[in-house]
Amino acid sequence: MSRYNGPVCRLCRRETAASKTGEKIKLFLKGDRCLSRKCAVERRGTAPGQKTAGKQRTKISEYGRQLREKQKMRRYYGVHETQFENYFNEAARVPGQTGRTFLQLLERRLDNVVYRLNLATSRAQARQLVTHRHFRVNGRLCNIPSYTVKPGDVISIGERSLKSPVFVSNLELASGRRPPDWLEWNEQEKTAKVLQIPSREQIDTPVDEQLIVEFYSR
């Protein structure tokens, strides 16, 4: 399955329109734009496509809720359908709560860690920066966005990359933002260390992972 290349704001609008509580769902696919008044969810919270004004909204089934939650989480982390299912199968083999382990695996992807460290404005940009060989893990080049970091891993930026306009801009923004507690950022050396596997409380992904477990357990 190819990666989605269409207007990403439509994805947020779709999830917002499907929300039972009327909550505005933001997947933060366009970086800081999602925090501004230009955000499509703020301007138009309706579903994309043909307008349905005046039509009665059909009640969503339990399967529909599970499917929407799966799609929301997959789009949030920007992974393919097959990748997503593989992560679930890996989590299911680990003793303990499958949903929590599933989230932890996705959260520990290198592209997501780069985003969490505020070294990229979005996960899409983080994925591109990793692919373009800008990062090192424990001193070794790593250009695999799906690489799973472990406690104790040290992530650094290539010396030449630090001088590029993208990193100059992103590091300036990062200086005023704090990474999650399971990551440690060294401002002087421009390196980060993975302190621990994130707990569920340290992951702010707006999903109900139990619905996804139920989806794959059908």
Mean pLDDT of the chain: 83
Whether pLDDT at 1 is above 70: no
pLDDT (0 to 100) of residue 54: 47
- Backbone phi, psi, residue 67, to 5°: -65, -45
- Give the span between the Cα atoms of 127 and 142, in whole angstroms: 12
b/e 182-207 (16+ beta carbons within 10 angstroms → b): bbebeeeebebebeeebeeeebeeeb
Overall average pLDDT of the 144-170 stretch: 94
Give the domain ranges of the chain.
9-106+206-216, 109-194
Angle at 69 between CA 31 and CA 71, to 5 degrees: 60
Are the C-beta atoms of 193 and 149 separated by less than 8 Å?
no
What is the 8-class DSSP label of residue 200? G
Express each pLDDT in 9-65 by its tens digit: 556 555 555 555 556 565 656 565 555 565 655 556 566 665 555 454 567 889 988
Closest CA to 99 of 179, 214, 218: 214
Please state the pTM of the whole predicted model.
Answer: 0.80
- Give the span between the Cα atoms of 70 and 2, in whole angstroms: 17
Q: What share of the chain is helix, strand, coil (3-state, %, to 5)?
A: 45, 10, 45
Scanning the chain, the segments in alpha helix (DSSP H) are 9-18, 40-43, 62-77, 81-92, 98-107, 110-116, 123-131, 165-174, 209-216
In this structure, CATH architecture of domain 109-194: Roll (3.10)
Amino acid sitting at position 88: F
Pairwise pLDDT comparison (119 vs 27), residue with the higher score? 119
CATH of domain 9-106+206-216: 1.10.1050.10
- Give the span between the Cα atoms of 106 and 134, in whole angstroms: 21
- Give the span between the Cα atoms of 18 and 113, in whole angstroms: 29
Q: What separation in angstroms does the CA of 112 have from each of 126, 168, 179, 211?
A: 7, 20, 12, 22
pLDDT (0 to 100) of residue 175: 81
Sheet holding 191-194, edge to edge: 140-141, 135-137, 154-157, 191-194, 183-186
